[in-house]
Amino acid sequence: MDIALFDYDLPEELIAQTPAKVRDECRLMCINKSSKTYEDKIFKDIIDYLKPGDVIVRNNTKVLPARIFGTKEGTGAHVEILLLKQLEGDTWECLAGNAKPIKVGSVIDFNNGKLKAECLEVRDEGIRVMNFKYNGIFLEILNEIGAMPLPPYIKKKCEDNSQYQTVFAKVYGSAAAPTAGFHFTEELIKKCEEKGVEFLDVTLNIGLGTFKPVKEKTVEAHKMHTEHYEISQEVADRLNLAKKEGRRIIALGTTSTRTLEANMQKFGEFRADKDDTCIFIKPGYEYKAIDALITNFHLPKSTLIMLVSALMGREFTLDCYKHAVEEKYRFFSFGDAMFIYGK
């Protein structure tokens, strides 16, 4: 399948550079994939489309302020490091912005010795395995000296790190946020719960692969990135009960979708699990875990627009995106949302 089939024209000014002033007052396109119709709403109107018994599954991962700037000992070369994945203890897989000077044995100093890192291994594409040394608590040091790893299409810095977190974020470990979750406020969650909607948490640590462009000419040639997910026994039991009772399972975001579909594909039901997944959801894929999806508007030719196309068809997806452009919806991480439902 040609990758160009998932392309669309997007004026640069529609790429949101800042979050909505009030989280649940961004715009929402409510899409019935059965009748092939859509309505323009405000996000908090989603409560009118939810039913008692619905289960919303959200990703409770928390973004690390994982972008740190330092100098190489001995040469003073300026280095930018992005922590990607904790391998063991204080050893991390990192992406080096100025990778060439960083060789095995190189030591990088951050914030006048508050944090130091030694390179243990050189990998491809600027990846380095680094061991960190510090006094105190690592997360507190990162919160003090680190910056949020915003996507490359966002040019402005966050005024406050909380802008790039969901209100339900709990488990540190991601290099990017599960951005569909940005739109829920604590008040809206409470109102949904009062209506009889259940919220369940899974964890998928989002790596930089989520922004990795598809460079191949065909969808089939693209190699999907791997991410780690966790589902607890309690959540698996609640999900299986919802399936048995015919209640809707609504994924909040593409990372929750990948977690649930990977787990269902592996076991044929929901089970407690900690595993890595490289599931690639694209047209032709048959959804077995989720019934509906809340998601943002994604990049042209991305694996995420393919995931959406697998749920409601490529042509209808592009029709909805065309309408969003015409109506000047805001796109990508800090942008507006869509709710896709229907049999």
N- to C-terminal Cα separation, the chain: 25
pLDDT in tens, 169-211: 999 989 899 999 999 999 999 999 999 999 999 999 988 776 6
Task: State what percent of residues in the chain have pLDDT above 70.
Answer: 99
Q: How confident is the model at residue 211, as a pLDDT?
A: 65
pLDDT in tens, 145-173: 999 988 888 988 888 889 999 999 999 98
For residues 250 and 161, the model is more confident at 250
Q: How confident is the model at residue 69, as a pLDDT?
A: 94
Domain ranges of the chain: 3-63+160-341, 67-145
Query: Strand order of the sheet with strand 37-42?
Result: 37-42, 27-32, 337-341, 292-296, 249-252, 55-59, 198-205, 227-231, 273-277
Cα–Cα dist 250/265, whole Å: 17
Q: How confident is the model at residue 339, as a pLDDT?
A: 98
Fold type of domain 3-63+160-341: QueA-like (3.40.1780)
Confidence of residue 97 (pLDDT cuts 50, 70, 90): confident
Angle at CA of residue 17, ends 128 and 204, nearest 5°:
45
Question: Which CATH number describes the domain made up of 67-145?
Answer: 2.40.10.240
Q: Report DSSP letters for 32-44, one per residue.
A: ETTTTEEEEEEGG
Lowest mean pLDDT among 41-55, 63-77, 229-243: 63-77
Cα–Cα dist 12/343, whole Å: 34
- How buried is residue 116: exposed, middle or buried, by Cβ count under 10 Å (0-12/13-18/19+)? middle
Q: Indicate whether 119 pLDDT > 90.
A: yes
Q: How confident is the model at residue 89, as a pLDDT?
A: 93
Q: Indicate whether 212 pLDDT > 80.
A: no
Q: How confident is the model at residue 125, as a pLDDT?
A: 82
DSSP 8-state code for residue 19: -
pLDDT in tens, 261-308: 999 999 999 999 999 999 999 999 999 999 999 999 999 999 999 999
